[in-house]
Structure 1
Amino acid sequence: MLPEMRKWLALALLIIVLDQITKALVVANFQLGEVRTLTSFFDLVFVFNPGAAFSFLADAGGWQRWFFTALAFAICGWLFFLLRHHAQERLMPFAIALVMGGALGNVIDRFAYGAVVDFLSFHIDKYYWPAFNVADSGITVGAMLIIWRQFVPSSSRSQST
């Protein structure tokens, strides 16, 4: 393994640890379905999501647990390959590490609970964004950074971007 990869894999591990700690706190201190209002636009909740983003395939009957687990492992394998290729850069491996950490954090939930623990709930009045977690945040921010990087002209990229 390239020495440069260690810091990016450590970042992925940090995302996993933060994700699992926050989820453990929710599972230990909330009843399933419980909502605790913190502000007029933010609640802490405890829900299980057997599907993917926005509860995609949540009612599919159980096969989706293994499908999303296999998909996460396949994507992490591909991301590991990309990480090796981009390890000398800053933005791309940072983004890859966020996605990998998030994906593996949610895989741990699928093995432990059969579904992903979600607990962050934002809303405006009665319009709610689907609940999510630290892993989902890592995946989203990382994916957005990967997409954003694609719009940076290659001539302006350097080894440090």
Structure 2
Amino acid sequence: MTLKKATLLILVILLIDQISKVYIKTHFELGDKKIIFDWFQIAFVENDGMAWGTKISDFVSFISDRTAKLCLTLFRIVAVFGIGYWLITSIKKQSSKTLIFAIALILAGALGNIIDSVFYGVLFNDSYGQVATFLPEAGGYDSVFHGKVVDMLHFPMWSGVLPNWIPFVGGDYFTFFEPVFNVADMAISTGIGILIFFNKRAFKEVEEVDILKETHEENL
């Protein structure tokens, strides 16, 4: 895959991700839910932390939520530069299409959520009890780097009480799949899944090139 095609893929995913988030933010109040099918809902929530709503401050008690949020956003930005470098390097090395495709998905997803974290705090007012406004006259709900990630995709495929014989969670009410996520999250998860389940295919060409280089250097 060429850099041009990878860039196009990233832009398409970013566009879909941001259009869906802006639509939800400007048409739904926080907590609103629209049932499409029994197993699929549009549910507007905002994620102020890491995956599953976890916050850095949950583990490091002496750091305030705002400081933890800033650290997380800055870490995401640094990670994006690292992923971008990995993508460009892989393309230059003519790595497998599988690897480049996976990295492009991860980079697109990371960029999508970073836009929320960095800019949404100043681009929108809050969604508590109201539909948010884009570029409100009174200003946004927070400052730069303190925006919240917009999530809306919910797939509650099954809900019920778990059998008592299941250790630790038996008898508890359980929903599969409980987390609410967005297009960017899907891109990241898909990219990581490709790297895990198609590991040999993704890194095959890289390994072969390295072996050839080592053999050539030994012959010299």
TM-score (norm 1): 0.85
Write the distance in 2 (CA, Å) between the matches of 1:57 and 1:94: 30
Contact 1:101 1:138 in 2 (8 A): yes
Deviation at 1:43, TM superposition (A): 1.0
Q: Relative contact order (C-alpha < 8 Å, sep 6+): which is higher?
A: 1
Residue 152 of structure 1 deviates from its aligned partner by 4.3
- Structure possessing the higher radius of gyration over alpha carbons: 2
The question of 1:83 aligning with 2:87 is answered yes
**1:40-95 Cα shifts (integer Å, max 9, x gaps):** 11110111100111112187522333222222222222212221222133111111
Q: Equivalent residue of 1:48, what SS?
A: strand
Residues 65 and 14 of structure 1: is their aligned pair in 2 closer, same or farther, counting only changes over 3 Å?
A: farther
Q: Distance in 1 between matches of 2:183 and 2:155?
A: 14
* Gap runs ≥5 in structure 1: none
Measure, in 2, the Cα distance between the counterparts of 1:149 and 1:78.
22
* Superposed CA offset, 1:89-142 (max 9, x none): 311111111111111110111121311000001112251521000000001001
CA distance in 2 between partners of 1:42 and 1:59 (Å): 32
User: Residue in 1 aligned with 2:23?
Assistant: 25
Runs of 4 or more consecutive aligned structure 1 residues displaced over 6 Å after TM superposition: none
Q: Secondary structure at the match of 2:150?
A: strand
Aligned length: 155
Q: Deviations over 1:18-53 (max 9, x none)?
A: 100011111121111101111111110111100111
Q: 2:159 aligns with which of 125, 144, 155?
A: 125
Q: Does 1:116 align with 2:114?
A: no
Matched-pair identity in %:
30
| Residue 12 of structure 1 pairs with residue 10 of structure 2 | yes
**5+ residue gaps, structure 2:** 59-64, 122-146, 161-174, 207-220
Aligned CA-pair RMSD:
2.2
